[in-house]
Homo-oligomer: A and B are copies of this chain.
Amino acid sequence: MRILYHLPLAPSCRKVRLVMAEKRLAFELLSEDVWKKRPEFLSINPAGEVPVLVEETGLTVPDSSVICEYLEEAYPDTSLMGRTLAERVEVRRLTAWFDDKFNREVTRNLLFEKVFKRFYGKSNPDAQALRAGYNNIKFHLDYIAWLSENRTWLAGSRLSMADFAAAAHISSLDYIGDINWEKNPAVKEWYVRIKSRPSFRSLLSDRISGIVPPKYYTDLDF
């Protein structure tokens, strides 16, 4: 069986899980506590990070972007990357936007500070980071709202990798109660559509010890 090393709330891993589920690829999830720097895991991925996909053939594919490019080439039937060159640029631009910019400006300041930091033996959430995260998320949610009001899906008329990259971050932040849905109805309308997809089910059943998600977290019509 195909294996995906992951961490339950990590958006980079959630993106890959969504993409694999959309492509109907069966896989076993193995949770890897990367902060323990397990030698066997480092020999699989010297970068020491999740996600890592290991195919039944033994082919090992690390890094969420590398995995997604690989999945498009190896399993092109359900393409999530767009058809024309211009469509593919827009899908990849927005995917990189969420993977890099949203991650650095929002997710790292909120999710890492509140959930993952303690695993690295570090202290309480940094107040300055939290403030920056709460400030930045407003602009990013406005951008998602603008995209979803002007297009059927974030990158254009077709559902794409960009929607899953964004939904991966939003879903993890929703778990810790950091998405204000009342103030962001356009984002909610888009998120309801993507959250209702069968590929989303596995994500919504993740639980992290010590953190209970809000009641509406698993509701498809919240």
Name A's B-contacting residues (CB within 8 A): 46-47, 59-63, 65-66, 69-70, 73-74, 85-86, 88-89, 92-93, 96-97, 100-101, 143
Contact = CB atoms under 8 A, between A and B. Distances in A.
A65 B66 contact: no
A88 B59 CA distance: 12
Contacts of A73: 85, 88
B66 A89 contact: yes
A70 B85 contact: yes
A65 B61 CA distance: 17
Contacts of A86: 59
A217 to B, nearest CB: 30
A69 B69 contact: yes
Contacts of A66: 89, 92-93, 96
Given A96-B65, A96-B66, A89 B47 contact: no
User: Chain A's interface: helix, strand, loop or mixed, by majority?
Assistant: helix
A85 B73 CA distance: 8
A44 to B, nearest CB: 12
5 A-B pairs closest in CB distance: A66-B92, A63-B96, A61-B89, A66-B93, A70-B89
A85 B97 contact: no
Contacts of A69: 69, 88, 92
A110 B151 CA distance: 42
Q: Which of A59, A88, A89, A97 has the most B CB atoms < 10 Å from its CB?
A: A89
Given A61-B93, A70-B85, 8 more contacts: A59-B86, A63-B92, A63-B93, A63-B96, A65-B65, A65-B92, A69-B88, A69-B92
Contacts of A100: 63
A132 to B, nearest CB: 16
Contact of A97 (B47, B60, B143): B47
A73 B72 CA distance: 13
A59 B89 contact: yes
